[in-house]
Structure 1
Amino acid sequence: MLYRIAEPLDWQHAQQTGFFASADLAAEGFIHSSERSQILETARRYYPGRTDLVLLEWDEEVLATACVRVEREWVESRQEHFAHIFNPIPLTAIRRHWAFAPDATGELHLPEEL
């Protein structure tokens, strides 16, 4: 499974259109995605203080079946590979989603189901 910390408007748009796409697809040519172990550091770096986010989980096998290109590319600033997705993601590939907000102390935690 791969994960995406999503803007609420992108998630709402996906539910209306049947496909998830975000500003990074238009700007950079791919949708940023994370492995489970990368989620919290990504949130800390790029979404501090946000309380309105959604965490999406998508199935890489469903993406492959739908001919959605996924490549793991080296990200120098993080010194690790990240999954980049080069097409809009069909809603059928999104297995689960959660509200993703910090607790009362301001700390983010992964959903218990993960």
Structure 2
Amino acid sequence: MNRIFHIATVADWDEAQRRGLYSTSTRGRTLAEEGFIHASRADQWQAVHERYYADVTEPLVLLVIDTDRLDVPVVEEAAPGSDETFPHVYGALDPAAVVEAVPL
């Protein structure tokens, strides 16, 4: 099993489970706007949380995604202005691919 991670609001995750589809790319951006869903590897998600979500007051969860359960591509791509790559999910996420939702 290959795992990648995505930080989500509890509200967005709850909605995704009701709809059967998760389509939030990142904080304040949809999959349609961004073109992919931002994700992180195990060694990256904490820094992403600190950098982009530190001031968020609503409840957050860390979605643990099993890439073997995805039916859309995951591509490692460099972040703008950086040599560091991140996994990008090119399509809506089936909630069945999420093996755990850890409260943050």
Establish whether TM, by shorter chain, passes 0.5.
Answer: yes
Considering fraction of residues, name the structure with more helix: 1
* Seq. identity, %: 34
List per-residue Cα deviations over 1:5-37 (Å, max 9, x = no partner).
102221011110111110331211000000010
Structure 1: any 5+ residue segments left out of the alignment? 101-114
Q: Which residue of 2 aligns with 1:92?
A: 96
- Which of 46, 50, 66 in structure 2 is aligned with 1:59? 66
Q: Which residue of 1 aligns with 2:18?
A: 16
Q: Which residue of 2 aligns with 1:103?
A: none
**Cα drift, residue 78 of structure 1:** 4.6
1:20-99 equivalences in 2 (<5 Å):
20-22=22-24, 23-51=29-57, 52-63=59-70, 66=71, 68-99=72-103
Normalised to the residue count of structure 2, the TM-score between the two structures is 0.85
Say which one has the larger Rg: 1
> Does the CA-based 8 Å contact 1:7-1:54 persist in structure 2?
yes
Structure 2: any 5+ residue segments left out of the alignment? none
Give the distance between the partners of 1:56 and 1:26, measured in 2 at CA: 20
